[in-house]
A and B are shown apart, each in its own frame.
Chain A
Amino acid sequence: MFSYLIRRLFTSILVLFGISMLVFSVIHLVPGDVTMAILGRQKVTEEKVAELREQLGLNDPLYVQYGRYLGKALRGDLGVSIRNNLSVSKAISDQLPSTFALSFSALLVALSIGGILGMLASLRHGSWVDTFVMGLSVSGLSIPTFWMGLLLILFFSVKLKLFPSISSGSSFAALFLPALTLGLPEAAVVARMVRASMLDVLNKDYIITARAKGAPERLVILKHALRNALIPVVTFLGLQMAYLLGGATIVETMFARQGIGRLAVQSIFNRDYPMVQGVVLVTATIYVLINTLTDITYVWLNPKIRLK
């Protein structure tokens, strides 16, 4: 286990290193001169351009620039926004809680709805319930997040006037529609996983044994089958969470919610490169951390893999 841990952490560090290089190069890959892209068609003086180049540190050799970028990033300094001179780290840490609240509540939606549907489908395998759930699931996989959100707005907000269509904050009312929007398509994935996993477990010898010794069906399902069927699903949780972080971009824009996803989109429009770099770096780092933890948990739960 220990040697696996070391190897896994080493891979993650290599990947994080690559991410930092890629994010750093964003500003250098912009076609043409980046200062022109930022200043646009404004009438600018030579001094203004020189000043911006100085601010972005573009006058030093690349490796010096990268070293400085990495050194600062490791200390939590992601530079300063070109548009309003505010600290990028501060802007991101202000917006992160809102994105986390959204992703967590969406995860709850996905797990509860997807879990129940998946279980029902597996217990009624081959029946109309199964067909219906699988139909719902393939629809859920095909539905664009933003259309899902729109239909929910039309129903809950325009027709029933129950929930706001523009929502910031973490109250139940503010999170209800955004969390459903983000969580329902994900519930489709969870439902498929739970169903497949349950079907697999229900054929195992220990289930037959449990039934043969006369255990009540409810107990067989809840205590023996579900508990084992959830292992692969739980290990998949990390990936789901990470996916939801990405999907938050659209949901936040749609509901005009605070959050780093919306911050990223706005910064792209503003050509605020340091801000875009910051958001991408932070999100990708969170993603890598979650993935690493997921892998380690998985191996820890499955000694078979550990020994290979």
Chain B
Amino acid sequence: MTADLSASPIKSNSPGRRMLRQILRNRSAQFGGILLLILAFASYAAPLFTDKDPNKTAPSVALQPPSLEYPMGTDGIGRDNFTRFLYGGRLSLRVGLIGITIGALIGITLGLVSGYFGGWLDSVISWFTDVLMAFPDILLALAIIAILGPGITNAMLAIGIAFVPSFMRLMRSSVLSQREMVYVEAARALGSSDARILVKHILPNSIRTLLVLITLGIGSSILAGAALNFLGLGAEPPTAEWGAMLNAGMKFVRQAWWLTVFPGAGIFLAVLSINLIGDAVSDAVAGTSIMPSQEKK
């Protein structure tokens, strides 16, 4: 990777490029990236690896241990665990991604508004996020599910809302530190509207800080989604999803270890890969500054 970049005739040296280079050079991020690609590819290209149907039952082959025919064994009603593992990954990864997207969109908007306009609006929004923050993570998601009722869409919403306070706080503090800067003043003097200043100037300058929360947040969001599914508050049977599969497999924990070990390993590896990338992103954000001369060699 690095060889390619240095060989190119025009070497871009924007802060973003430098950050990306540093992330790509990081050993654990490389490992995490490859692991994540494998998992995502295996899930989304599932039909390439299996010709079975994830929901097709065959009671005659129930609870078979892993074999060549069934690489991850079969479950209590004879469904192929490997096929369910592959298809289940799609949903688990999607829950994580959508959850964090909802949280980021709402949180960033609230943070921008709250930090930029200040005043009573800021006080109300800050108070509201303080209240949300007063609920331990999973409890807030549980309360939201209690309102909306169980289900996979509601689980994504619940996770999203649980992430709002962290994004809001980070965005708000970033806006506060930039609001009085000369470039914002210059933009205002040139007649830019508030909306334009927020979206065109302040938001892009906050991306670096937000990036860390977003990457690490995807991991936590997948974990939270799997937890809700494990508690039975997400995907409804027979939908394959890693957390829900693990929950169903608990009934056979003494007879069939493969029903719980594989889906759990799926969640673990997915979150691990994202956390490894996240650590590298946070190192890169801390290590590369906007000014080239300050970059750590």
Residues of A bordering B, CB below 8 Å = 11, 14-16, 18-19, 22-23, 26, 29-31, 37, 138-139, 141-147, 150-151, 153-154, 158, 165, 242-243, 245-247, 249-250, 253-254, 264-265, 267-269, 273, 276, 280, 283-284, 287-288, 291
Contacts and interface: CB of A to CB of B under 8 A. Distances in A.
A26 B143 contact: yes
A145 B233 CA distance: 16
Contacts of B142: 249, 264-265, 268, 276, 280
Contacts of A26: 143, 146-147
A26 B150 CA distance: 15
Contacts, number: 139
A287 B138 contact: no
A306 B114 CA distance: 26
Nearest first, the 6 A-B pairs at minimum CB distance are A246-B136, A147-B264, A18-B131, A142-B272, A142-B271, A276-B146
A146 B146 contact: no
Given A150-B250, A249-B142, A276-B143, 12 more contacts: A11-B130, A15-B127, A142-B223, A158-B257, A165-B253, A247-B138, A268-B150, A269-B232, A280-B139, A287-B134, A287-B135, A291-B134
Given A142-B271, A144-B223, A280 B130 contact: no
11 contacts: A19-B135, A138-B275, A144-B243, A150-B246, A150-B260, A264-B142, A276-B142, A280-B135, A280-B146, A288-B134, A291-B134
A154 B127 CA distance: 45
**What secondary structure prevails in chain A residues at the interface with B?**
helix
Interface of B: 28, 127-128, 130-131, 134-139, 142-143, 145-150, 219, 223, 226-227, 230-233, 243, 246, 250, 253-254, 257, 260-261, 264-265, 267-268, 271-272, 274-276, 279
A146 B246 contact: yes
Nearest to A20: B131
B275 A268 contact: no
A253 B146 CA distance: 17
Contacts of A154: 253, 257, 260-261
B230 A146 contact: yes
Contact of A144 (B127, B147, B268, B275): B268
A40 B109 CA distance: 38
A142 B219 contact: yes
**What secondary structure prevails in chain B residues at the interface with A?**
helix
A283 B141 CA distance: 13
A141 B227 contact: no
A45 to B, nearest CB: 24
A22 B131 contact: yes
B147 A141 contact: no
B138 A31 contact: no
B138 A144 contact: no
Nearest to B233: A268
Given A22-B131, A147-B264, A150-B246, A246 B231 contact: no
Nearest to A146: B230
A153 B149 CA distance: 31
A141 B275 contact: yes
Nearest to B137: A246
Contacts of B131: 15, 18-19, 22
B134 A144 contact: no
B136 to A, nearest CB: 3
A115 B66 CA distance: 39
A15 B135 contact: no
B227 A144 contact: yes
A47 B267 CA distance: 49
Nearest to A250: B227
Contacts of B253: 150, 153-154, 158, 165
B150 A283 contact: no
A68 B276 CA distance: 50
A18 B271 contact: no
Nearest to B219: A142
Nearest to B242: A144
Contacts of A18: 127-128, 130-131, 134
Contact of A147 (B130, B136, B146, B268): B268
Nearest to B268: A143
A150 B135 CA distance: 26
A14 B123 CA distance: 12
A288 B136 CA distance: 10
A189 to B, nearest CB: 12
B34 to A, nearest CB: 16
Contacts of A19: 131, 134-135
Contacts of B138: 246-247, 249-250
B127 A246 contact: no
Contacts of A245: 136
Contact of A14 (B127, B250, B271): B127
Most buried by A among B28, B131, B265, B271: B131
A246 B128 CA distance: 20
